[in-house]
Every structure is written in structure tokens, then in C-alpha cells.
A = this chain, B = another copy of it.
Amino acid sequence: MDQPFETIAIVGIGLIGSSVAHAARASAGTKKVIGYDRSPEVRAEALKLGVIDEAADSLEAAVAQSDLVVLSTPVGAIGEILPQLSSAKAGTVVMDVGSCKGSVIAAAQGLPDSVHFVPAHPVAGTEHSGPAAGFATLFRDRWCIITPMERGDEAYAQSLARVDALWHAFGSDVVQMDAKHHDLALAVTSHLPHLIAYTLVGAADDVESVNEAEVVKYSAGGFRDFTRIAASDPIMWRDVFINNKEAVLEVLGRFSEELAMMQRAIRWGDGEALEKAFTRSRGLRKAIIEAGQESAEPNFGRDKKG
């Protein structure tokens, strides 16, 4: 078994950072968690909740004492923090958990070889934020994607293996791919869905003669589903779209083509085209349920059958 990370630093103690803290303690042999967040309030709350054992006053202080530094701020801040880790002690392993990887890897280009940066992205989350939102089982039965730096040395390979083992200990399946492919695949399965959900929820405001009270009342017709991911942290998502612009615009183009086709079919009353388009989706949902990535219960099981 790979050597566990006994002391870890969590930089950015939100949903993902606190979940890593819980999971590392619960199942990966971590003894001590040091937390750093730019807000003193978040540090205090994380300490009070027992998410971290110790709060650090600065990034440097957190990094100095740790075997593993976890960067779990929004991706814009990850890009700003990485260059500041150049002076970390030799052999320090740094892992980020950002939702896009190309921009993060670009920001890590100046790091010395003595710092082992492993870009990771756990494909798991909730719509909640902050240190109280995290829990140890968030990553269980979910995928973690690692997009390694291009370097062939054995020391780095060992750090990579330790990070891989960490995610396995959290209950995740782990896969490696290059950052460009990651950013396109996640644009499809995560970034575009969030953009569309925010857009739909925002557009509901714009229909003059339908007021907000009505949107609330009749939301069980489907709208409510979209409000879940549209309740995710605005700063996190701002950063994803700014940093994964190319891939998001590409998949958005495909979406818009498909939508134009639907619009045309409705305008011309082409029931056959609509029925055909609507028939494709069931198989995909079935596959997602069978892969253990989704609940098979009607309405996600949220409306209990009395």
C-alpha cells in the first residue's frame, strides 16, 4: 500500500475541501488536517465544526507543515495560488480539485520539479457550499479524473500513485486522461448543464405576465429540477466558464443547433421529428442508473409514496 498522507493542508475550506478533510480522516489514514481559507470566518467555522484540527494564518504556514496540500478554492484562485508554491519544501505533493484542468496546468508550469503537482477533479458535489456542506462519503462510487503533468521522473510517478491511492481510499474510481479531453468531456456532462440551468431559471424572470409566485407554485412540472444546480456557488461557476471558455463554447454550439432543430419542428408541427428526438433519451438514463451514478426512484425519490 502506498504511503498515506499523515498531515494535509486544505486551502479553501468549502464543500470539496471539507469533504476531502472528512474522507481523509475517515478512510485514508490522515492524522492531522490544517486548514487555510482567505476568510477568517470560514477558518473559525471549520475549526468549530471539527472539519480541521488547526487553522493556519497564511498559505505559507499551512503548506510548510504538510505532506499534501489540497487546493480547493474556485479555479481562478487555484491559478493564483499555484505560483506561490514554488518555495515549498522539496517533495511536497500538491493536488487541486478544480472543475477544469487546462488553465490550472498552465498556471503550474513555473513550479520547480521538487514540487509534485497532481491535478485532480472529483466528479461529485452538491448544490451547497461552505465548510458545513462537506461529508466523508461525497466521493464514494463517483469518478475522480487525474490529468497528470507531463513529466517522466520516478519521484513524480510515486506521488501520482499516492494521490491515486487517496481517491481509491475515498471510494472513488480513478481514471487518467489529458487535460484537454477532460475539459471537453466535463463541458458536456457538467459545465453546459450548469450554464443551461442558470439560463432557464433566469429566463423565467423575463416572462412578463407570469409572476414569481406562479413559477414557485407550478415548479413541480419540471422547473424545480433546474433550480438545484442553478443554486450552486456563482463564483465557482463564473471561474469555470472563464477558464474553460473554448470547450464550453464548442458544446454550447452543438446544443444551439439541436435547439434550433427542436424549435423548427414545433413551429412546423412536425410531431414525427419531435417524437424521434424525445425517444433517444431513455436509454441514456437507464445506462446512468445501471452504472450506479443515479437513483432509479421516480422523481429521484424525493416525493415519498405515502
Contact = CB atoms under 8 A, between A and B. Distances in A.
Interface in A155-212: 173, 175, 181, 184-186, 188-207, 209-210, 212
Contacts of A269: 242, 245
Contact of A234 (B198, B230, B279): B279
A159 B289 CA distance: 44
Contacts of A125: 220-221
Contacts of A123: 217-218, 220-221
Interface string A265-306: 111010100110111111011011001011101111111111
A180 to B, nearest CB: 10
Contacts of A299: 126-127, 228, 300
**Most chain B CB within a 10 A radius of its CB, from A223, A228, A281:** A281
**Most chain B CB within a 10 A radius of its CB, from A201, A223, A306:** A223
A234 to B, nearest CB: 4
Given A189-B219, A223-B193, A254 B301 contact: no
A214 interface: yes
A227 interface: yes
Contacts of A237: 274, 278
Interface string A121-159: 001111110000101111010110100000000000000
A225 interface: yes
B267 A249 contact: yes
Contacts of A107: none
Contacts of A209: 181, 184
Interface stretch (A63-71, A111-119, A256-264): A256-264
Given A189-B219, A222-B197, A249-B267, A204 B284 contact: yes
Given A263-B252, A274-B238, A291 B216 contact: yes
B280 A201 contact: yes
Interface of A: 99, 123-128, 133, 135-138, 140, 142-143, 145, 173, 175, 181, 184-186, 188-207, 209-210, 212, 214-232, 234-235, 237-239, 241-242, 245, 248-252, 254-259, 262-263, 265-267, 269, 271, 274-275, 277-282, 284-285, 287-288, 291, 293-295, 297-306
